[in-house]
Each structure stands twice: as C-alpha cells, then as structure tokens.
Amino acid sequence: MGILRGGWLRLVIFLLSFGLFSSTLRAADNSSFNPGKISFWLKVKDLKVNYKTFSVFVLPDEKLSLEVIDPYKQSRYTLDSPVKAAPEDGGNKWQWRAPSETGLYSVKISDAARQESITLNVFVMVPASKQNGEYLNGYRVGEYPSTALNGNPAYEQPKGFIEVTDKNQETQLSPHFKLKQFLCKQPGTTKYLVLEEKLLVKLEHVLQKVNELGYACESFNVMSGYRTPYYNRSIGNVMYSRHVYGSAADIFIDESPKDGVMDDLNKDGRIDKQDAEVLYDVVEAMYGGETVSTQLVGGIGVYNKNASHGPFIHVDVRGTQAHWGMRKMQ
C-alpha cells in the first residue's frame, strides 16, 4: 500500500494527465538501452552486482573479499589481476589484498564456459590521515565535522580519498557512469573525491528503469556529485550534506537535445519543475515503499530551475528515507 500511495500511483496519474501513458508503454519496448549486465553476480563490500564493469574504493593494504554467486552453479571462474589473490572454496571466492601504493588496479573475473566476465576497477585511495590541515597534496578539502550526525555511522569522516588525474578520470566506474562525472566543481590540477559504491548501483538501477519507461537516456547528467566540505560551505550548503560523504548526486536527463538542461519529459513544451517531478516519481516508486531494502534507500528531493541551472532531482543512499520539494497530491 505504501508504494501505491507513493510514486507508482503518482507517476501513472501524471502520465495519464498528459496522455502519455500508452506511448510510454510502447516506447518501453525499445531494446536499444543496454544495462551492461551479466548472468552471474559478484559479492563485494556487502554489495551484489552483476555488471560487466564495476568499481570499489579501498585503502592501501586493505583486504577485499570477492565471491561469485552463480545461479546455475555450473561454472568455474578465473581471476586475473596484477596483484595475487588467494582462492577459496573451489575457485569461486578470493581474498584480494590491495597494494600499498595508491592508484587504479583492474581485477577481471571470467566464466570461460559462458564467455562472460566482470571487470572490477579497484581504486586504492589516499588515506585521510595524509591530509595536512584543510589540504591534501595541495588540494583544499576543508574540514569534516568532528562528530557524526546523531551518532550515525553514515556521517563519519571518510577514511580515504580517490585521487583523480587526467589519466584516470575517464575510467568507467559502472556501465554508464565515469569517474569524472562525480568530480567537485572546485578547481585544481590533481583533484580528490569520495564516492560510495552503492550510489553507483542506485544510479544504474534508476537509469535502467527510466529507459524501461520509455525515456531514452545513456547516462544521467550529474550536475553535482562529490563536494569537498570547503566547496560545500562556500556555496552555503548544510554541513552534513550527503554530497560531502560521496553518497549523493543531483541528476537530470539531458538527451534530446544535449544542451545542459533537463529534457521536456512530460512533453508540454516547457522545461520546468514538472519535468523533474517525472524523474522524482520514478525514484520514489522504486525506493519509497516500506518493504524496500534499506541498502539503497535514501533522500529524494526535487528542485526547480533558476538563473544558474535547470530543474533536477537529488538522490542519495543515506540508508533512511527523506523527501523534499515535491508537490502535494490531492
């Protein structure tokens, strides 16, 4: 009942009001969108992913447990990596130890029988202990709150930072999102960011759903991803913003035309908050129900256009539900 009272009912009513429901269903049959999935799953850092490409972020010398979950239980898997991994349980589980040196390391797990593989990009981060005052190697990060909000572990200070360079910024983190999309707008030659893996999973899930609903989109425009505490404060945002913890993204669909603003999703000839509400409704329908796993649940907010940007929505993976900016349904 919670879902019906929330996003799905609102989405259906909204589409019907503009005569789009039938055309959206027809468009959903378009198979041009490739979700980038494989038939087996990889369990890593308490996540189960079945994408051809995925990324995780670890500290130097951190141990990473990797486990293949195969619904068919008929294959043996191989792991290729520049770093030796210790196999366990007949070759479908490994213990992989991160190198001491920061950087990007590729781990490939393959199923030769089905000719499928997953490439896991492992980013070894710069430890937060390397920060000198507000700066990390000359890049101004600023200061994180000294205490977690209400004792919530989701608001603890990050343990490390991903170093972003001209060489690695094009790295595909998941099938449809690149590292550079989550950069803070703060200038700098070498930049750093924080990013939660489960935010990538949520964005991929939502992207697949909007394509199933007929909104052709290869990737969201991430208007704002990570923000350093310094930058976040400079724009007047709240101290405990999920953006400074790498678990939030402000997104919109920008495909037709690609012009840096939200598309006219409801086809009323205007670009306004109602277009962002279409996207909001999709996310709310997916994660607004009481039975939804808390792992990907988080805040959803909708914002209108102003002089500096078009309409967009905020999504995060804080672990609890929060909603703001949405119109009231009668």
Domain ranges in the chain are 2-31+127-324, 36-124
Q: How big is the CA angle at 184 (ends 182 and 188), to the nearest 5 degrees?
A: 125
Q: pLDDT tens-digit profile of 79-130?
A: 999 988 888 876 689 999 999 999 999 999 999 888 999 999 999 999 999 9
CATH class of the domain comprising 36-124: mainly beta
Can you tell me the distance from the alpha carbon of 327 to that of 330, in angstroms, rounded to the nearest whole number? Answer: 9
Is the N-terminal amide bond of 99 cis, ω within 30° of 0?
Answer: no
- The DSSP output letter for 278 is H
Helices vs. strands in the chain: H and E counts, helices first: 6, 21
pLDDT at 52 over 50: yes
Q: Tell which wins on pLDDT, 76 or 238.
A: 238
Q: Per-residue pLDDT averaged across 23-52, rounded?
A: 80
pTM of the complete model? 0.89
Tens of pLDDT along 29-42?
A: 446 899 999 999 99
Q: What is the model's pLDDT at position 257?
A: 92
pLDDT at 285 over 60: yes
Which residues lie closer than 8 Å to 273 by C-beta, 6 or more apart? Answer: 302, 303, 304, 305, 311
**Distance of alpha carbon 87 from alpha carbon 100, whole angstroms:** 21
User: What is the Cα–Cα distance from 303 to 318, expressed in whole angstroms?
Assistant: 19
To the nearest 10 degrees (0 to 180), the angle between helices 273-287 and 7-17 is 140
